[in-house]
Amino acid sequence: MKKRTILLPAVLFFAAAFVVGYFLDLDISKAIFWKNNAFSLFMASLGEAPMYGGFGFAGAVIFGYLYRKEVKGWVRFLSVLLLLVCFGFGYYLSAKAFVSINAWGAISDVMLDNLLIGGIVCLFTMAPFWILGFLIGKKSGEKRNTDAFRAAVAFGLAALLQIALITVMKGIFHRPRFRFLEASDQFELFKPVFVRFKDYASYITEVFTKEEFKSFPSGHTGSGAMLIPFLTYLPYFQKKKDLKKQPFLLLIGVAYTILLAFSRMLVGAHFLTDVAFGALVTIFSFLVLDLIVFNDRMNAFFVMMLAKGGFVERNGIGFKEGMKEIKKEFRK
């Protein structure tokens, strides 16, 4: 429980920001709006690196952890497959974000060219996550640190859950972005948070696409906020956990998220409630997965599956005896 409460300051901060935005969303956006400024475009193109690089990080940790000589071949094959899926998914999403309408825009008329160019740029931001993940996974595997394995699983699944939740909510509420209200001079269309804009389709034109009606919640901020649990939980990827660094790591993650959130508000892509709620969705997604992955019965499940793969033995006893002991613990 103690390791989860470390995220409480971040939850309280973004919850307070959400309350402020609930009353002052439109006023704040009017006061700070700065159309197409370079800072915001830069953050829009590369600010989601913690999410997309995080997919590769999670895959690399699991790969480095499992890909060993003593592990059965089918387990090593699955670890390679998972690594490629995580890398490919992160690469595709980051490349797509770089050339999206929210960032620098299309570089070429050919979508494949855009993904190639955007992907090459984004590789430089994601590569450090991948390399770090592999090194951590390999070292954790040597020391049989199952906490590192489980933390990587929680991080990867939380990222998927966060993307799914934010995508679904965008499709439900269709909240107009501030930049649309300002460009069309239709501030009367402003919608408070949690109010659905049912008639949004009638305002879609060649100039104003459906992207202008995906303000709530902020996907960029949600993706950037993955840096909060990522940095805060870094000590759990070590056998000897130095938890004294957690407050400082948490501060770095929150500061980055605030910077990204401000850039999204500055360019008129989101309101304060959008960015605050996006960050909260990410934090709570990770906490839910943390509760699932780090409970005692799930720990027994992970050990049981690793034992089936030939990776661990229990208390130095034989595989069959160890499996019986693990199953008894799992069934409690």
**Residue pLDDT, tens place only, 185-228:** 999 999 899 999 999 999 998 888 898 999 999 999 999 999 99
Q: Do 234 and 280 have their domain in common?
A: yes
The rounded percent of the chain whose pLDDT value lies above 90 is: 39
Q: Do 171 and 283 have their domain in common?
A: yes
For residue 68, what are the CA distances in angstroms to 137, 152, 311, 320, 325? Answer: 11, 18, 8, 21, 24
Q: Do 211 and 284 have their domain in common?
A: yes
Long-range contacts of 238-246 (CB under 8 A, 24+ apart): 238/145, 238/148, 239/140, 239/143, 239/145, 241/147, 243/3, 246/6
Confidence band, pLDDT 50/70/90 cuts, at residue 313: very low
- For the cut 70, the answer to whether the pLDDT of residue 110 exceeds it is no
> For all residues of the chain together, what is the average pLDDT?
82
Q: Do 321 and 271 have their domain in common?
A: no
Report phi then psi at 226, rounded to 5. -60, -20
**What is residue 165's predicted lDDT score, i.e. its pLDDT?**
96
CB 41 within 8 A of CB 267: yes
Q: Do 31 and 148 have their domain in common?
A: yes
Per the structure, the count of domains in the chain is 2
Q: Which domain holds residue 330?
A: 295-332
CB neighbours of 278 closer than 8 A, spacing ≥ 6? 166, 217, 218, 219, 220, 221, 222, 225, 261, 270
**What is residue 319's predicted lDDT score, i.e. its pLDDT?**
47
The pTM of this model reads 0.84
Q: What is the mean pLDDT of residues 150-158?
A: 87
